[in-house]
Amino acid sequence: MASTSDIKNGLCMNYNHDVFKVVEFLHVKPGKGPAFVRTKLKSLTTGKVIDNTFPAGHKIDVVRVERRTYQFLYKEGDDFNFMNTETYEQVMIEGKMIDNGDLLKDGQNVEILFHSENETPLTIDLPQYITLEITYTEPGVKGNTATNASKPATTETGAEIKVPMFINEGDLIKIDTATRGYVERVKK
């Protein structure tokens, strides 16, 4: 058993008969009254995010997890198929477990968190940035860049994101997987 002083981003714990991952936390020591820890927890089974406050010193049940590198192979319906890069073992994971799964392209490496005790996959962490090619976007009109204007674009994986006006079809762009935001244009 651990206590609230061990809480950090990415920590997985059992809480309310479910496995949660700490998304955000803040230790608060008010001038009056006892200290507490304010957290944002994401359920690894449903994907729901909840706010919770733990009193200082509260015992928490930490879940042991293992990170393993897998390669994305293909999508079958709503399920994604991955292969372990060391053992070549394949695993199928439901699409609802993956945030921004439409940004994944074939051959992309990801990290899958497994519950150490029962070997079940808990969540998938995409790389922070992914480089994709733009397959469709409206052409930018010259002189339309006085403001930080953006336009919709479709990537090679079928994902739709917002890009600056100067991006054209065939351009490679770097995308932040957490926010689905455009980062920069990549030279070929």
The domain spans of the chain are 2-62, 65-125, 129-186
CATH superfamily for domain 65-125: Nucleic acid-binding proteins (2.40.50.140)
pLDDT tens figures, 144-186: 555 677 889 999 988 899 998 888 888 999 999 888 889 998 8
Q: Is 146 left (phi over 0), alpha (psi -120 to 50) or beta?
A: alpha
Taking residues 124-142, report their average pLDDT. 85
User: How many CB atoms sit inside 10 A of residue 115's CB?
Assistant: 16
CATH architecture designation of domain 129-186: Beta Barrel (2.40)
Taking residues 25-39, report their average pLDDT. 91
Give the span between the Cα atoms of 10 and 161, in whole angstroms.
26
Q: Do domains 65-125 and 129-186 have the same CATH topology?
A: yes
| Bridge partner residues of 42 (DSSP) | 21, 49
Tell me the CATH number for domain 2-62.
2.30.30.30
User: Mean pLDDT for the chain?
Assistant: 87
**Does residue 51 have a pLDDT over 90?**
yes
How far, rounded to the nearest angstrom, does the alpha carbon of residue 181 sit from its chain's CA centroid? 13
The reported pTM is: 0.74
